[in-house]
Structure formats: structure tokens, C-alpha cells
Structure 1
Amino acid sequence: MNLTLTPDTAPKQTAAPADAAFGASVGEELSERQQEVLDAVLKLMVAEGDGFSVAAVARAASCSKETLYKWFGDRDGLLTATVRWQASKVRMPKFPQQQLTRDSLQSALTGFAESWLTVITGDLSIALNRAAVSHAGSGKSRLGEIVLTNGPFAMKQRIEPLLEAGRAAGLLGFEDVADAFRSFFGLVVADTQIRLLLGEGNHPGEAEITTISARAVTKFLSLHGRG
């Protein structure tokens, strides 16, 4: 999940405790029960923001507090796992089995953009981002740092190998992959998420997301494409 905070600078990685079930890797598997717990956290955030207690999560998820502490550590660990769980719903870009071509690169970038936009424009991500922004810089919550590290910074880590592969294949041209990601981020996300965070009620549907993604990737390739 991107989240709305800018990816220009990423803070130090925020991780759940070492013994938590949800580790540093976005792709690490959670049990179905753990997923249910994290979905309960997201629903609480839609209803109440991030001011919930571990006891409230335990009630909502029909789970003991002891189990929550065992799985996720403290409240920050639970928040970190929740953000990562939501971000993991963005599908990884698929590398073509054969040599990368402009068409296969464009297809992989577009698929990633579509999945990313679908996740970040949903009610759960919007609630998560609103809570993060509401406490940014206040010192009341580390949610903003957690979201930045495990949202846009995580998306950057996922897409950079594909961008680097495109450059190695002579299909993309850029000096700094971070600059290329910022360009991709700006074209894909644009102001769509900001409008939703500010209360615009019209969430883009599947067809609109497909159109936005295809247009963004076409513009990205016109800026950075080679050959």
C-alpha cells in the first residue's frame, strides 16, 4: 500500500518485535486467524481512527490480549503488522519469464499500478492514511512513521528491481532509480488519493483505475523509455 505520505525520504525501518508472527518481509505468510485480527484492526480504524486499545482489538477480533501480545508484541507492533498486511494486498510486479521487452515491461508496470491504486483508494487504506496524517509531527503516535516506512517506501522497494531490469535491458533511461520511482509514483497516484483523503466521495471504479494506470504508465515510458 502506498500510503499518502511522500516517498522522497524514508525513516528508519520500523519493524514488529523479533518474535512476532509478522516479520520484516512483506511476503511473509500470516495465518488466516492472524489476518482476521489485522482486518479487525483496520475496521476499528475506519470507525474510530487509531485511538483504539489492544483490549478493543481483542474484543473486536474475539481474541485474548495475551495472544495479541504473543503474535505482534506491543501496540506499535500491532500497528506495523496491520500496515504491512494492508500493503501486502498490492500484487508484486511479475517479471516476464523470457527477455524483458517494452510490451512486457509496460504490462508489468500497468498491473502493479492497477493493484496499487485499487488498494490505496479503498476505505481501509483511506482510514489508515487519515489516522497517520492526523498525528503526523504531533508525537502522539508513531503511525505516520510506520505508514511511511511500510507504505510508499515498501512500494519503492518492490518496483525498483523492475525499473532496474528495464534500464539493464535498454528499455528505460534514468540516472537515479529513486528519481524514476518518484516519477512513477507521481503519475500513478497523482491527486487521486489526496482527493479521497479530503472527503471526495467518488472512489474510482475498476474501469477508471485501469484507465488511470494505463495512462500513467504510457506517460512514464514517454519520459523514461528508450529504444
Structure 2
Amino acid sequence: MPEAAARHTPTERQQAVLDAVLDLLVEGGDQLTMTAVARRASCSKETLYKWFGDRDGLLAAAVRWQASKVRTGNYDRQKLDADALRDSLEAFAANWLKVISSRTSMALNRVAVSHAGSGKSNLGSIVLANGRFAIGERLKPLLEAGRAAGLLAFDDAEEAFRTFYGLVGRDVQIRLLLGDPLKLSTATIERDASYAVDRFFTLFGTAGRPKIRSL
């Protein structure tokens, strides 16, 4: 069984291994072996098996590591107001757009899509479980805190998250996956994040929501 540390916050050494996995995916798609990772990360295969179990365990840890870069920002649940909620949602949206538009995420998603239903590996389900679904579980507490503070009104946190996810991502990910040379500058990402949060407040905000900002 893999060590517990590799399934939670990886050590610096484990992070270097996971970065090596992601680099290899960018360079060679699904031509990923434990031998290649061990060589790139300058460690033994025995260490990889000890930390991550098998190849799927290593891939799952790499996906979790990539997904961990999407953060919801800092907020105090007990003192959450409209501005703090907006700032946290915008931080998440901008962070998520930056991560999904990276070469690393594109390579990871392309391989996962190609493997889905092919029987080659479990990478598709690994990316869903440790990427999209894990990120949802990370953001929903913030949405629920906004509802508890009287700033948001919704019946189901998953549905609210799916709406927010759609407003943020729009068609960006599919365009990038299909090879569109879409360039997302920092200014563009920040503008799109603000736009998404504005629309989300329009749909789910209460009377206490902040005014929509002009773009």
C-alpha cells in the first residue's frame, strides 16, 4: 500500500516526482512508465511503489497535485461578507482558468479523454475523481458559507457549483483541447473571472449581493 503522505500533502521530494510525471505527460502523452518516471525524478522504482502503489496510484497522485493548484482563497466563515465572498470566488475562478489553460492540464486531459472507454487505463476516472469532483468538494463549503451568511440562495450546492463551473469555464477547455491557440493573458483571466462571478451573483445572490462591476 502507498504511504499515507503520498495521498495527502506530498513532501517536497514527492512533489518533484509528481512534477516529473506531469512533465513526461506533456512531452510524450500516454507513454508513461514507472521506469521513465524513476529515471526523470532520479529515484528508484521501489520508492515509487512504496509512495504511490502502482502506475494508477502515481497518476492519481499527479492529478491531485495538479488539481491542488486550484484554491478558493482565504476567507473567514464566521465573518464572511459580500466583498469577501466575491474576492474568494474570483480568486478561485482566476486560479482555475490559469490551471486548466496550462500545457500540463491540457496534456493530462487529452490523455484522459483518449483513454476514456478504451480500456487502456483508468486515467479518465482518475482525472474525474481527483480533478473535477475534488475541486467541487473544495469550493462547495465556500458556497454553503455564503448561503449561511445570507449572501447566496440555492437549494443544492452541487447544482450551484456546476453553474459556477460553467460560467467560469464556458468553452475555454474544449477549445484548448481541440487545438485552438487561445491565449489567456493574466488580464483576460481576471476579466473573465470577474464576469463569471457577476453572473453567478445575478443568478444566486440575495439582496445583499455587491453591485455588478463594469468590465
Compare 96-105 and 106-115 and name the one that shifted more.
96-105
Give the deviation of 1:75 after TM superposition.
Answer: 0.4
Partner SS, residue 155 of structure 2: coil
Per-residue CA shift, 1:58-110, capped at 9, x if unaligned?
A: 11111111111111111011001100011111123322375221111111100
Equivalent residue, structure 2, for 1:22: 6
With normalisation by structure 1, the TM-score equals 0.87
Match of 1:40 among 13, 20, 31: 20
Q: Residue 77 of structure 2 contacts residue 145 of structure 2 at CA under 8 Å; is this kept in 1? A: no
List gaps (5 residues or longer) in structure 1. Answer: 1-16
Equivalent residue, structure 1, for 2:92: 112
User: What residue identity is the alignment partner of 2:59?
Assistant: L
What are the residue-to-residue correspondences of 1:119-134 with 2, within 5 Å? 119-134=99-114
Aligned residues: 207
Q: Residue 20 of structure 1 contacts residue 70 of structure 1 at CA under 8 Å; is this kept in 2? A: no
With normalisation by structure 2, the TM-score equals 0.92
Compare 204-213 and 91-100 and name the one that shifted more.
91-100
Q: Residue 151 of structure 2 contacts residue 206 of structure 2 at CA under 8 Å; is this kept in 1? A: yes
User: What residue identity is the alignment partner of 2:33?
Assistant: S
Equivalent residue, structure 1, for 2:144: 164
Higher helix share: 2
List gaps (5 residues or longer) in structure 2. Answer: 208-215
Give the deviation of 1:217 after TM superposition.
Answer: 0.4
Equivalent residue, structure 1, for 2:168: 188
Q: Residue 80 of structure 2 contacts residue 146 of structure 2 at CA under 8 Å; is this kept in 1? A: yes
User: Which 4+ runs in 1 deviate beyond 6 A?
Assistant: none
Equivalent residue, structure 2, for 1:7: none
In structure 1, C-alpha distance between the alignment counterparts of 2:35 and 2:96, rounded to whole Å: 32
Q: Residue 187 of structure 1 contacts residue 220 of structure 1 at CA under 8 Å; is this kept in 2? A: yes
| CA pair 104-20 structure 1, distance change in 2 beyond 3 A | closer
Equivalent residue, structure 2, for 1:215: 195
Q: Tell whether 2:72 aligns with 1:102.
A: no
In structure 1, C-alpha distance between the alignment counterparts of 2:54 and 2:72, rounded to whole Å: 29
Match of 1:225 among 205, 208, 212: 205
In structure 1, C-alpha distance between the alignment counterparts of 2:30 and 2:17, rounded to whole Å: 15
Partner SS, residue 140 of structure 1: coil
User: What residue identity is the alignment partner of 1:185?
Assistant: Y
In structure 2, C-alpha distance between the alignment counterparts of 1:131 and 1:170, rounded to whole Å: 42
In structure 1, C-alpha distance between the alignment counterparts of 2:2 and 2:50, rounded to whole Å: 11
Per-residue CA shift, 1:24-49, capped at 9, x if unaligned?
A: xxxx3222221111111111101111
User: What residue identity is the alignment partner of 1:122?
Assistant: S
Match of 1:82 among 47, 62, 70: 62
In structure 1, C-alpha distance between the alignment counterparts of 2:148 and 2:5, rounded to whole Å: 37
Q: Residue 22 of structure 1 contacts residue 71 of structure 1 at CA under 8 Å; is this kept in 2? A: yes
Q: Residue 196 of structure 1 contacts residue 203 of structure 1 at CA under 8 Å; is this kept in 2? A: no
The alignment's C-alpha RMSD in Å is 1.3
User: What residue identity is the alignment partner of 1:107?
Assistant: D
Equivalent residue, structure 1, for 2:41: 61
Q: Residue 105 of structure 1 contacts residue 166 of structure 1 at CA under 8 Å; is this kept in 2? A: yes
Seq. identity, %: 58
